[in-house]
Amino acid sequence: MSETTFFLAVDLGATSGRTILGSIENGKLSQREMTRFSNPIIQQGGHFFWDIYALYNEIIRSLKTVAEEGIRLTSIGIDTWGVDFVCIGKDGGILRNPYCYRDPHTEGAMEEYFKLIPKEKVYDKTGIQFMNFNSLFQLATMRRNNDSALEAAEKILFIPDALMYMLTGEAVCEYTILSTSQMLDPRTKRIDSELIGAIGLREEQFGRYVNPSDKVGVLTPEIQKMTGAGPVPVVAVAGHDTGAAVAAVPAQNQNFAYLSCGTWSLLGIETKDAIINEKSFQYNFTNEGGIEGTTRFLKNICGMWLLERCRQEWTDAPADVNQINSDAMTAPAFRSLINPDDPRFANPESMTKAISEFCQETGQPVPQNYKEFARCIFESLALRYRQILDYLHDLAPFPIEKLHVIGGGTYNRHLMQMAADSIGMPVVTGPVEGTAIGNIMLQAKAAGMVDDMFQMRSIIANSIETRTYLPQDTSVWEEPYKRFLAMQN
């Protein structure tokens, strides 16, 4: 076998997962998809759950596949969506499949928690965007409901930490995934004891702290025997998928904003320190942990979730999403607009009905077919990007000159051009599999193959193709933008 150094990136999203085999040779990254699988939400007993055992089993399957090809791994890294967690009992066992952040049990949870600690104080401590599914509010809800798993929990591990625990037996709390929870003080980079103490929890319940590129442990003897993979190290990457994706932005300097475009759209900037002030509180921005001690100052926006949910209902639409994207451009422009972050779009029984009702309530034509629904979604997202970028221009400590877009949403060239026209600045797309690439590069750093994020980004820039969209007709977006803003008042 070749002496090539191989890394396995386990990249788990809120609808699907994949494992990517990566290697670095002659200053370039190569990658190959090993497995791909769905990650469905399980509905049972009035609640929504993730199947942590199914995800674990997919990791085992990928390790077997790699071993069968005779590939010797240098390490494994896992990234996932944020905020959700697993309860571990005193005997080390998983107490129940974890709640999905879309579970409705957290409706009204923030208001209940603010009776314990005021909203302004929570934001001052954490600098995190208020969303009812943040881990703090999930835990508070479980405590209020006398949840049996929480009552018996010896450890509480976020999803990537829980999967690393299942692989190694080591209970850790990785910095970037912890930063999504609304429990981390970004100044001390530790869990705030007052915030969790208000709901009867202790800091030691969350495992030992680790940072991106720290080694967690090695595969257990049981897994080595099951897979034939050997004592492969498991490395903490940026456990939050957006943290891993931002690590893969091929930026040349700091004067950029990024958009991780997938199920969620996450739009922000990379800064040295957290930005916590009256304006960031007013705009409801979040300060999440990045690599090498940076802060990802950003806002969560509902993304391709809108389209994916509509596709499940459409009977007249083609199966090929690229065809849907193209067909949308034949529909009338700016006929109907929505606020993508209206709470009704979080997890409705019918997304098309929710969009129709929004349009009716705001005095707009209701979309009549999949083309009009899709165009409404794309234009509304592009306008939301402009609104958030306007806030960022007001808050950023440096000029923003371009928008780097990473993730699967970059396949939608029509949306990318809309974004450039809406925001009035260049949009640079790529890489598509940014999360997996960031995951691999952080493992490479742990292996001593790269020194810092600047070298990582240089290698990435040399290894991928990017596409630049320049603004074309920005003037036609002015009147729709005014309409878009007025809908939110």
Q: Which residues are catalytic?
A: 241
Type of residue at 448: G
Q: 């969620």: which residue's tokens?
A: 264
- The pairing of strands 208-210 and 47-49 is unpaired
Is-cis flag, bond preceding 471, omega within 30? Answer: no
Tokens of 128: 């995190």
Q: 415 — alpha (psi -120 to 50), left (phi > 0) or beta?
A: alpha
| First-residue to last-residue Cα distance in the chain | 64
* Distance, CA of 83 to CA of 128 (rounded, Å): 12
As to burial, measured by CB atoms within 10 angstroms (0-12 exposed, 13-18 middle, 19+ buried), residue 430 is buried
Q: Which helix H or strand E contains 253, and what residues bound it?
A: none
Distance set, CA 429 to CA 6, 391, 412, 489 (Å): 26, 22, 10, 32
426, 342, 410, 411: which is closest to 376 by C-alpha? 342
φ, ψ of residue 113 in degrees (nearest 5): -70, -35
Exposed, middle or buried: residue 360 (CB in 10 Å: 0-12, 13-18, 19+)? exposed
The two tokens of residue 28 are 């370039």
3-class DSSP assignment, residue 59: helix
411, 407, 433: which is closest to 29 by C-alpha? 433
Q: Which residues have C-beta within 8 Å of that of residue 312, sequence separation ≥ 6?
A: 351
Token code pair at residue 79? 């990234």
Q: ∠ CA(234), CA(12), CA(259), 5° rounding?
A: 110
Report how far apart, in Å, the C-alpha atoms of 474 and of each of 257, 373, 380, 479 are: 19, 22, 15, 11
d(CA 104, CA 43): 11
Coil, strand or helix at 374 = helix
Residues 105, 107, 111, 114, CA torsion sign: positive
